[in-house]
Structure 1
Amino acid sequence: MSQAEVIKQCKIKTKIVKRLHKELDYYKKEQEREQARVDKMREEGADLHGMKQAETVLQESIMMVPQTLQRLETAFEDLSAYVQENEQDISESEELKAAKELIEAVKATI
């Protein structure tokens, strides 16, 4: 594989991890927002139909967090392995630097 192809693959894998990391944060915030909405509806004694709909939305949000986390972990492992494998070939590229920075940032999440 040429150096240009290695850099291209590194960039693609980095963007995948970045997108999934952002997605995970979004779903966590959505879960918190929906939980607050359900709690508020309970306090106010909202109608049963509205409560069921809100709880359904909350359950869907809750289900998305572990699914997205699993996809992020898989993409993270793929990027980490790719960086280790090809570090010598692209040692001075901006893409490698960006990938390493993202790996460090995502480690805290996983």
Structure 2
Amino acid sequence: MSSSAELLKQCKVKTSSVKRLHKEVGYYEKERDKEQARVDKMKAEGAESSDIKQAENVLQESAMMIPQTRQRLEAALAELQSFVAENEEDIKDAEELQVARDTLAEIEKMLK
């Protein structure tokens, strides 16, 4: 496999990783919000304290996943930024490079 083809493959893999982690963060945030609403509803309806406690544990587990996944996203983002900076001359006309740049811009804007 040529060097250029290998770089394109790496670019695609790194970009896909960033997109997947971004999706995961969104999923965990939605899950946290859903579980929070469930806990609030249970409290408002005067549910059993053991049921509320169990729901709060589920909420905490969901919330704990967000910082971990966000850290992995930020690491993958930094890796992609570095890769693009180091290799953009070698793959400057490739569609994969443009997709990587678009992904970087989108995710960086979301993280701010």
- TM-score normalised to structure 1 length: 0.97
Report the secondary structure of 2:90's partner residue. Answer: coil
**Matched letter for residue 105 of structure 2:** E
C-alpha RMSD over aligned residues:
0.9
Gaps of 5+ in 2: none
Whether 1:7 and 2:8 are equivalent positions in the alignment is: yes
Q: Distance between the aligned counterparts of 2:11 and 2:100, measured in 1?
A: 7
Q: After the TM superposition, which segments of 4 or more aligned residues of structure 1 sit over 3 Å from their partners?
A: none
Which residue pairs with 1:103 in the alignment?
104
State the Cα distance separating 1:98 from its structure 2 match.
0.5
Q: Secondary structure at the match of 1:91?
A: coil
What residue is the counterpart of 2:28 in the other structure?
A: 27
**SS state of the match for residue 63, structure 1?**
helix
Between the aligned partners of 1:72 and 1:35, the Cα distance in structure 2 is 24
User: In structure 2, what is the Cα distance between the partners aligned to 1:22 and 1:92?
Assistant: 27
User: What one-letter code is carried by the residue in structure 1 that aligns with 2:25?
Assistant: L
- Find the residue that maps to 2:110 and give its secondary structure: coil
1:43 is aligned to 44
Give the TM-score normalised by the residue count of structure 2: 0.95
User: How many percent identity over aligned positions?
Assistant: 55
